[in-house]
Structure 1
């Protein structure tokens, strides 16, 4: 009887422990922001590495190298902020962004350039929103300061992608 009672209570005991089993600060606004920015940075870096392999257009290649350089610096700052706050960062791209990188990898020539620039524009537009949300709702002064300092950079990346031919509509129109 005791074993049966224990088995029935196990799910409730696990549920009661679940909040303490969660990573510290993973669910607060600032922690979620750091996790979201990590996904964005990883996408910018990985998709731009593909661009260096696939594109023959000097302006696209220069933009891609700029994305790698600037998002790597930003990610190093995000990682330091996250480590100090014990916020776990995703080790890899979320599946939907990995799918985009895989799709880009299968393209070449003008089709690649158009798709890459479109994805850059859409991604940076989304990232601007993430940064604006942190500026509005963030609680941690250092994380908010990072967002404030880097928002103009993300906005510039968006403008550059659009100027190179990227569209902010998913269909590229």
Structure 2
């Protein structure tokens, strides 16, 4: 079932981690190497301060001096790089938690394989985001955003085929939302490292979404 999952969240990540780089279908020309992604210019650092996740929540139409300046339009709201980093970090953590839950709860070998892939990719994504945020003097969340926690709590109550159906459905929805958000950031982020990260993450998000869709068709009829 293809539908947008979270209207206000970006969910999770990771191109080039254990799989081939797939055409991201973007017109961006920002370099996509890991070395480039890891480079953070001093001009984009918030001098002498460490920002918290509270700074990520800025009202539509406002700007933030955290993680770059200016806003980007995502759906019906304006977001900053701080918003993006916060939501992406929470999404990564959610994907890892749900993947580990699927490894415990599912008896389906294909779902377990897919879940392990997500755990591996999103764990590495979390590590990379931490590096990027650290270079920008921005503190990522250590707990899930409420909407992500709500989904983890919901799936934690399920077992067997009921869990399988809900897990695949929600993972597909989550990646559709991620793709939409990362596409915006890949084109409009003012900070080069954030933009490059979004560009090279898009192919992996598309692969994950496609695999979830195929699993839904094949297994969860």
TM interval, shorter chain, is: 0.7 to 0.9
- State the partner residue of 1:91: 142
2:82 is the counterpart of 1:31: yes
Instruction: State whether residues 87 and 145 of structure 2, in contact with CA within 8 Å, keep that contact through their aligned partners in structure 1.
Output: no
From 165, 176, 185, give the equivalent of 1:114.
165
> Number of aligned pairs?
149
Alpha-carbon separation, structure 1, partners of 2:191 and 2:216: 37
Match of 1:102 in 2: 153
2:112 aligned with 1:61: yes
Aligned counterpart in structure 1 of residue 95 of structure 2, from 44, 67, 82? 44
What is the TM-score when the length of structure 2 is the normalising length?
A: 0.63
Q: What is residue 14 of structure 1 aligned with on the other side?
A: none
Q: For structure 1, list consecutive stretches of 5 or more residues without a partner in the other structure.
A: 1-19, 167-171
Greater fraction helix = 1
Task: Work out whether residues 138 and 144 of structure 1, in 8 Å CA contact, stay in contact via their aligned partners in 2.
Answer: yes
Alignment of structure 1 residues 6-21 onto 2, 5 Å? none
TM (norm. structure 1) is: 0.79
| Contact kept? 1:31, 1:82, Cα under 8 Å | no
For residues 25-67 of structure 1, the C-alpha deviation after alignment (integer angstroms, 9 at most, x for no partner) is 1685222211111011111111111111100100000000000
Unaligned runs of 5+ in 2: 1-50, 56-64, 70-79
For the residue of structure 2 that corresponds to 1:164, the secondary structure is helix
Deviations 1:68-93 (A, max 9, x none): 00011111111100010011211111
Identify the residue that residue 208 of structure 2 maps to in structure 1: 157
How far apart, CA to CA, are the structure 2 residues paired with 1:99 and 1:147?
Answer: 26
Question: Residue 92 of structure 1 aligns to a residue in which SS?
Answer: coil
CA-based RMSD of the aligned residues comes to 2.3
Structure having the higher Rg: 1
